[in-house]
Amino acid sequence: MSYHRGSSSGHPQSHHTTWGLASAPPTMSSAPPSASPFSPSYHSSRPARNISEIIPRLYISDLAFAENPALLMSYRITHILSTMPDTIFRPPPSLLPVQPIRMQIRVDDLPFAELAEHLPHTTEFIRAALDSHPEARVLVHCAEGVSRSVSVVAAYLMAQFGYTPIEALAYIKGRRRVANPNFGFVKQLHEYARNALGRPIPDPVLPAFSP
């Protein structure tokens, strides 16, 4: 299935977008990603959060995968984008002979953490990496592969394929069931769409909850 945007309709102009990823659009696969049998979490009772291929050669993972030299080699990861403030373990050449090209943005997983200012740079990093060689493979990770990394990959899909923020996030969730960025990051994706991509879309609004 193509990962280009499936609809040619324009962006909504007069209605707020209701934020929710309970289900992906019908054209998107809702099957959860398969866990690698080499993952430390493969036999655990927790949902698989190790790695998911979102589009060909672009992956999202948790921190444990990103620090594991055997797994990085098995997936032939050539570029790593870390989206967390902590120091990331970088396996030495004795464990990982081919060292990935790296970028790190230091962002906490908090609704008011500044993410939007980084998105043009992370999008360019992903684009340049994928364009650098047909065998390049890009891994984007945070601590759990749920919020920060998902938001960064969503921004790339928005820039590259014309998705709205909600479409991009739903597309990712169809390939990574645990994807669930905090609402502040969702709002910043809308800001990114307007300010960096020039798309006049409104902010999302939280769905109403009954008391």
Active site residues: 142
**Cβ neighbourhood burial of 143 (10 Å; 0-12, 13-18, 19+):** middle
Give dist(CA 72, CA 36) in Å, integer. Answer: 12
Give dist(CA 196, CA 120) in Å, integer. Answer: 7
What region does 89 belong to: left with phi over 0, alpha with psi -120 to 50, or beta?
beta
Residue 179's closest CA among 211, 152, 206? 152
Largest CA distance in the chain: 57
Cβ(58)–Cβ(138) under 8 Å?
yes
Place of tokens 């899909």: 157
**Secondary structure (3-state) at 83:** strand
What region does 176 belong to: left with phi over 0, alpha with psi -120 to 50, or beta?
beta
Running DSSP on this structure, what letter comes out for residue 7? -
- In sequence order, the β-bridge partners of residue 53 are 59
